[in-house]
Homo-oligomer: A and B are copies of this chain.
Amino acid sequence: MKSSFAQHYTIQELADKLNARIDAPSERVAASTLIGVNTLEAAQQGEVSFLANPKYAPLVASTQASALIVHDEYVAPEAFGGVLLRTENPYNAFLRAVQFFYPSRPKQAGFRHPSAIIAESAQVHASANIGANVVIGEYCTIGEKTTLHGGVILYDSVHIANDSTLHANVVCYDHTIIGSGSIIHAGTVLGADGFGFAENKDDGSFTKIPQVGNVVIGDDVEIGANCTIDRAALGSTRIENGVKLDNLIHVAHNVIIGENTAIAAQTGISGSTKLGKRNRVAGQVGFVGHIATANDVTVNAQSGVAKDIAQKGVYFGTPAKPFREELRIQASLKQLPEHLRHFPK
């Protein structure tokens, strides 16, 4: 992994930073300059890798990594030609190494691209960074060191607190509120109208129900690319502090997602549903509207949650059931064709 932003270190410098013990012939230690991190398979000379999961141990003999972060007790194969950096928790040490090599790019202080279009009544903090072709509507407020990448469009009265990042082409409809330290990835749309229509019984046509609420995103939230979070019909659609959403997720009007809940890609949550705190929702799950989940609920991939989940635990299937119940049904299904042959009507 080469990067124009990567730092370089000697083995000794990295070992000191990680509080790791060097284990290698001294000539190897002297010869190496470390320029980045990589996986065991892809690492090239000058790169650091790690071994945390024993499943990957067979890759050590052939890795080209110059340094390898391993457990205190690890015994390396003869063929490994690099330097071992021994530590109690190799994975954590490696994560710290990543941050040493690829420090967050120093935030510009007060960068403002001349092409940005900022309404007169908007208040943009002097330390905020505003990219090319950004459009900021009337009455918006942008906090300290918040960054709007190229092409971000804020309708009127959008409020974003400090240290948040909106990536390219994010759109916030009017009255969207975003807290501090949150990250919204490219192409995500916050605050589009909820899907609310009254059916005209005579001809099956629809009259639009005004969607006059907004979207409120808390602090330390991360939302992936090309998601859609709709504004409330009335009141607010709320994404609470610490929530993490993957890509292409749909959140309908008046949904509330509780603190520190994480949701994988392509899941959809229908109107007015309320997820508890610390839920763990896998990909392509669907929730019907107007239901609630408890705290600490896990829902497995492609499940369809059709009613309240009042007890914490793991759920699976369509309709979603306790995990073991669904597994028993899936196992039974495999036997069903044979069973019917043995018990013909």
Contact = CB atoms under 8 A, between A and B. Distances in A.
A163 interface: no
A169 B167 CA distance: 13
A262 B42 CA distance: 26
B336 A345 contact: no
Interface size class of A (residues with CB under 8 A): 35 or more
Interface string A70-107: 00000000000000000000000001001101100000
Interface in A36-58: 37-39, 41-42
Contacts of A213: 1
Given A155-B168, A212-B1, A244 B37 contact: no
A131 B156 CA distance: 13
Contact of A212 (B102, B226, B301, B335): B102
Contacts of A342: 345
A68 interface: no
Interface stretch (A18-26, A122-130, A246-254): A246-254
B169 A153 contact: yes
A179 interface: no
B244 A268 contact: no
Interface stretch (A9-17, A27-35, A325-333): A325-333
A235 B99 CA distance: 15
Interface in A199-221: 203-206, 208-210, 212-214, 220
B247 A250 contact: yes
A195 B156 contact: no
Contacts of A236: 42
Nearest to A329: B333
A321 B335 CA distance: 13
A258 to B, nearest CB: 10
A343 B25 CA distance: 68
A66 to B, nearest CB: 15
B135 A135 contact: no
A337 to B, nearest CB: 4
Contacts of A343: 339, 343
A270 interface: yes
Nearest to A198: B95
Contact of A98 (B210, B264, B321): B210
A214 B38 CA distance: 12
Interface string A114-127: 01010000000000
Contact of A149 (B153, B187, B270, B296): B153
Contact of A225 (B98, B228, B340): B228
B283 A268 contact: yes
A173 B41 CA distance: 24
Given A185-B189, A195-B264, A336 B336 contact: yes
Given A1-B213, A153-B168, A206 B345 contact: no
A145 interface: no
Contacts of A143: none
24 contacts: A1-B234, A38-B234, A39-B234, A39-B235, A98-B212, A101-B212, A132-B153, A135-B150, A135-B168, A151-B171, A153-B169, A167-B192, A187-B226, A192-B247, A195-B224, A195-B246, A208-B222, A224-B230, A246-B250, A250-B265, A302-B304, A321-B334, A338-B345, A342-B345
